[in-house]
Amino acid sequence: MGFNGSEPSAPAPTPVPALATALKIAVVGPLGVGKTTLVTSVSEISPLTTEETMTREGARIDVLGHRSTKTTTTVAMDFGRISLGESIVLYLFGTPGQERFWFLWDGLVDGALGAVVLVDVRRLEESFDVLERLERRGSAFIVAANGFPEAPVYPVETLRQALDLPDGVPVLNFDARSRADCRRVLIALTEYLLALSRLPRADQDDQAAREQVRSSQG
Amino acid sequence: MTRARPMPELDDQDARDLARIYVITGGRVGPSGRTTIDLVTLVGAMAAESAGRAPEHRAILRMCRTPLSAAELSAHLRLPFSATAVLIDDLLSAGLVITRAPRTQVLPDPELLQEVLRGLQRL
């Protein structure tokens, strides 16, 4: 298991640390949908928070189309860690789905293994933008509906239609407070990625193209 | 007559935070974006301590005796990610840490995904 390309020649003051393979998964969804709850349920550490301060001038940081004069905005992402054996560390990042936070995605969704889109069935419309954005980027994602006690539970096929999801994108009902359920969501994402990775290259491109057409029609 | 315009909607705490970040990173945080540090780039210390470095640099070296991701360092240091990345870059150039970039291809190879799957099933 060759970990790192660092040369063993020069005697180091401390032993060269063995660095595992790090992977990240984005957990995306509107405020209050259960992103941090999911992260907390499966993480081996208490969730941590990393912040990014955006100070670029003229950046779009509001909702109503008025350009805000505020020159700085801070966005926090909660994240957790799951060590899978000795050699793989999986990081889960909860990130807000609203358009004004999309600048964060450059560092997160790019290079992520995949994304879990969390939806609340009582406000599905809040997830439309996120889904369209992910489809257009060609990012692999699954959809997990967090079952709030007071919310109705819909069959996944109903959710798929309501969200206009491409065939094949897994949709699950789950409870973000349940560790077993969260594990099931992560397994579903990994199985989906595995299936995608086994498609011949041309089919992967076809799928991206189909999704592009779909989102431009949207 | 040019009069300094107060920065709008920037409260004292914001201003203090920005000043602190500016000092720590020597003003290098910004869209110049030369860093290759990812949120989950793993960082491992090659030296226990380094006298003469800023407290934040020394803190990173202490924390990375057991390798940590850049995001974890940012959380523990209570610094924005971009500022943390600058500090890691400093230590990397000085040979005081090694880093391992995460997998970034669109779809990882099936073998790696199989390993992830097995790991999750064992949880």
Q: How far apart are CA A79 and CA A94, in angstroms?
A: 6
Confidence tier at A161 by pLDDT (50, 70, 90): very high
Check residues A4 and A190 and name the one with the higher pLDDT. A190
Calculate mean pLDDT across residues A110-130.
92
Handedness of CA B30, B31, B35, B41 (dihedral sign): positive
Residue A213 has pLDDT above 60, yes or no: no
CB atoms within 10 A of CB B89: 18
The partner residue sitting opposite A14, judged by closest CB among B21, B47, B121, is B47
pLDDT for A82 = 97
Check residues A55 and A140 and name the one with the higher pLDDT. A140
Residue A142 has pLDDT above 80, yes or no: yes
AA letter at B41? T
A11 occurs within a structural domain? no
Check residues A173 and B36 and name the one with the higher pLDDT. A173
Q: What percent of chain A has pLDDT over 90?
A: 52
The partner residue sitting opposite B72, judged by closest CB among A3, A48, A108, is A48
pLDDT for A8 = 47
Query: pLDDT by residue (tens digit) across B83-122?
Result: 999 999 999 999 999 999 887 666 778 999 999 999 999 9
Residues of A in contact with B79 (CB under 8 A): 51
Check residues B91 and A103 and name the one with the higher pLDDT. B91
- Which range, of A47-56, A87-96, A189-198, B56-65, averages the lowest pLDDT? A47-56
Q: Is B94 on the interface with A (CB under 8 A)?
A: no
Calculate mean pLDDT across residues B18-40.
70
> Which residue from B minimizes the CA distance to A15?
B46
- Give the residue numbers spanning the domain of A131: 21-217
CB contact under 8 A, B40 and A23: yes
Check residues A98 and B79 and name the one with the higher pLDDT. B79
Q: Which CATH number belongs to the domain containing residue A203 in this structure?
A: 3.40.50.300
Residue A54 has pLDDT above 60, yes or no: yes
Q: Is B17 on the interface with A (CB under 8 A)?
A: yes
Quote the minimal CA–CA distance from B1 to chain A in Å.
Answer: 23
A16 occurs within a structural domain? no
CB contact under 8 A, B103 and A111: yes
Calculate mean pLDDT across residues B19-40.
70
Residues 6+ apart with CB under 8 A from A109: A26, A28, A115, A134, A137, A139
Residue A70 CA, chain-centre distance (Å), reads 28
B35: alpha, beta or left? (left if phi > 0; alpha if psi -120 to 50): beta
pLDDT for A118 = 96
Residues of A in contact with B42 (CB under 8 A): 19-20, 22, 89
A3 occurs within a structural domain? no
pLDDT for A16 = 76
pLDDT for A198 = 87
Check residues A17 and B45 and name the one with the higher pLDDT. B45
Statement: B13-28+36-122 belongs to CATH 2.30.29 = no
Q: Report the DSSP pairing between strands A73-84 and A48-54.
A: antiparallel
Cα end-to-end span (Å), chain B = 67
- Which range, of A53-57, A160-164, B110-114, averages the lowest pLDDT? A53-57
CB contact under 8 A, A22 and B69: yes
pLDDT for A177 = 96
- Cβ A48 vs Cβ A80: under 8 Å: yes
CB contact under 8 A, B108 and A23: yes
pLDDT for A5 = 46
Q: What percent of chain B has pLDDT over 70?
A: 78
Q: What percent of chain B has pLDDT over 90?
A: 50
AA letter at A34? G
Check residues B116 and A1 and name the one with the higher pLDDT. B116
Residue A214 has pLDDT above 70, yes or no: no
Q: How far apart are CA A14 and CA B46, in angstroms?
A: 6
Residues of A in contact with B112 (CB under 8 A): 21, 88
Calculate mean pLDDT across residues A52-73.
52
> Which residue from B minimizes the CA distance to A198?
B110
A2 occurs within a structural domain? no
pLDDT for B82 = 87
Number of domains observed in the structure of chain A: 1
ipTM of the modeled complex: 0.79
Residue A149 has pLDDT above 80, yes or no: yes
Calculate mean pLDDT across residues A192-205.
78
One-character DSSP codes across A62-106: -SSSPPP----EEEEEEEEEEEETTTEEEEEEEEE-SGGGGGGHH
The domain ranges of chain B are 13-28+36-122
* pLDDT, averaged across chain A: 81
- Cβ A77 vs Cβ A104: under 8 Å: yes
* pTM score of the predicted model: 0.80
